[in-house]
Amino acid sequence: MRLKNKSLMLQGTASSVGKSILTAAFCRIFKEDGYKTAPFKSQNMALNSYITEEGLEMGRAQVVQAEASCQKPCVLMNPILLKPTTDKKSQVILKGKVYGNLSAIEYHNFKPKLKELVKDTYDRLSKENDIVVLEGAGSPAEINLRENDLVNMGMAEISDSPVIIVGDIDRGGVFASIYGTIMLLTEEERKRVKGIIINKFRGDVEILKPGIKMLEDLINIPVLGVVPYTDIQIEDEDSLAERFRRRGEGEGEINVEVLYLPRVSNFTDFNVFETQKDVNLRYVMRGESIGNPDILIIPGSKNTIEDLVYLRNSGLEEQILRLNKKGKIIVGICGGYQILGTKIKDPHKTESGIDEINGLGLLNTETIFEENKTTTQIEGKILMGNNGILEKINSYKVTGYEIHMGQTKLLEGTSPFIKIDKRLNDKVEVFDGGVNEKGNVFGTYIHGIFDNISFTRDILNRVREEKGLEKIESSVESFNEFKEIEYKKLAKIVRNNIDMKKIYEIVNGD
C-alpha cells in the first residue's frame, strides 16, 4: 500500500490512558512495515524533557516515540512544551527555546498566535515522512478548552487527521468514558473519529465482547481492538505512572531510593535501574519516609528552591542527613545536585520569591540562578575520586544532556565529578558536578548519566563489594539495546491485538 504525507491521531478519554505508549507502538509498526514515520504532539505539558543535537528542548515522550520510529528526536515533533514552575505558572518553550513564564490565563490568550507555528511545524514534518502519528493531550471532551484548541480536535483539523479514541479499562468505567467523550464532541468532530481502542485489559476478552457490541451500536464507531495490560518497560509520559507506586521490595540485594519531589523533572533518569536484576528501585512518595537505601538519589526539579523547602518541612532533610552520617551513598541530579550544596541564590527570581536559601550542606557548593538556560548534549569522562565509591571507579566515558538555569561553584573540600570534553559537538574542557571528601556524596547536572551502563554497573558492584557480595555483569549490554527490545515487544503486542488492516484503511482514507 503506497502512503505519503498521511497521518493518524490518537486521542484519549482522559490523561494516562496510554496514548503515548500506543503512539510509540504505531510508530514502530509503521516503521517495521517500511514507512518513514514520525511522532507529533503540538503541545506537551511535562517536566520530563530532552535536549536535541541542536541544543533545543522538547518533551521526552516524543523522544521515546522518535526512538520507536528509528528517527533522531527533533523539535518539529513537539513545537510547544509547557513546564509547570508553580501551581499557577508554566515555562513556555517554543520550538525548543524558552519564550517565558505565563499563567494559565496568559497562555490561553496567547494560544491563537500559536496556531500558525503549530501548522508550519506539522507541515514540515509531514513533508519529510510517509506517516505522522499524532498524539492528543488529556481529553478532546474538555469542552471548556475547545476554543483555541491546538492539541486535540483543533490539531486534527489543522492536520486533517483521522482520529482514534483510546479508553483505559483498567481504571474502570471504560464504556461510559468512551460514550461520554463521543457524545460531548460536536458533529464535525465526531466525523473525524474512525475507531476506538480499549487499552490495559486484564482477563478474557470474550467477557468484554457483549459490551463492545453495545458500545458500537450506540456510537456507530468500530472498536478496532483490545490491548492487554502488559509490563513493557518503556518511559512513561505521566508522572503518576504505576512505577512510582512500586515499593522496592524485590529480590535484589541493592536498594536504590529516589525522592519523588513535588516538582520532580526528568524522572526517567532512573529507569535504567529497573534493568538490573540485583536492584530494588523505590520512589519515596509524599508522606512516606526514606527506608534503608544503599543509594539515595535526589532527582531534578523544575523548582529547586520550593522542593528544598518541601524536604525541610516534611522531615526528609533530617532523614537525609542521618543517612549521610551513616556513610550512605547520596547522589543529586541537576536540581538535586543544587539541593546538596550549602547555598542557593535566586537574585532574578527565576524560580521563586526566595532570594537565598541554605541547602543541605552535604557538598560545599554555591548555586546562583541565572536568567538564561543551559541546554546542551555532552560527552565527557568520570574523574576518579580518592575515597568512597568513586575510588575504584574507572575513568568512564559518558554521554548525557544538561537542562538547568543555575550555575554551581565548587568550594573548599569539593572536587569535580566529570570532565566535559564536548558540548553540541564542540570541543571544550570544562568540569561538572561535585564530590565530597569522603566520596559518598556526589552530584551532577548531567541527565542520563546512569544510562551509561558500564559506569552504573561499576557503582552497583562497588556497593555489592562493600556488602560482601560478588560482582555481577549487567543484565543488558546497553540501555539503548534494552529499549530496542522493548519497542519490538510493544509493537508485536499491539499488532496482534489491533485490526491493522482497518488501521491502514483509516490512514489511507478508505
Task: Cite the active site residues.
Answer: 334, 447
- Could you tell me the three cell numbers for 364? 560545599
CA separation for the pair 300, 399 (Å, rounded): 17
CB of 381 within 8 A of CB of 395? yes
The total of other beta-carbon atoms located within 10 Å of residue 274's CB is: 17
Distance in angstroms (rounded) separating the CA atoms of residues 329 and 324: 7
Q: What stretches of 34-150 adopt beta strand conformation (E)?
A: 37-40, 43-45, 49-51, 57-59, 80-84, 89-94, 97-103, 131-135
On the 0-12 / 13-18 / 19+ scale of CB atoms within 10 A, 123 is middle
Helix (H) / strand (E) element for 400: namely: strand 397-410
Alpha-carbon distances of 367 from 201, 343, 351, rounded to whole Å: 48, 6, 13
Q: How far apart are CA 194 and CA 220, in angstroms?
A: 10
Three-state DSSP class for residue 390: helix
Distance CA 453, CA 400 (A): 12
Determine which helix (DSSP H) or strand (DSSP E) holds 301, and give its type and residue range: strand 300-301
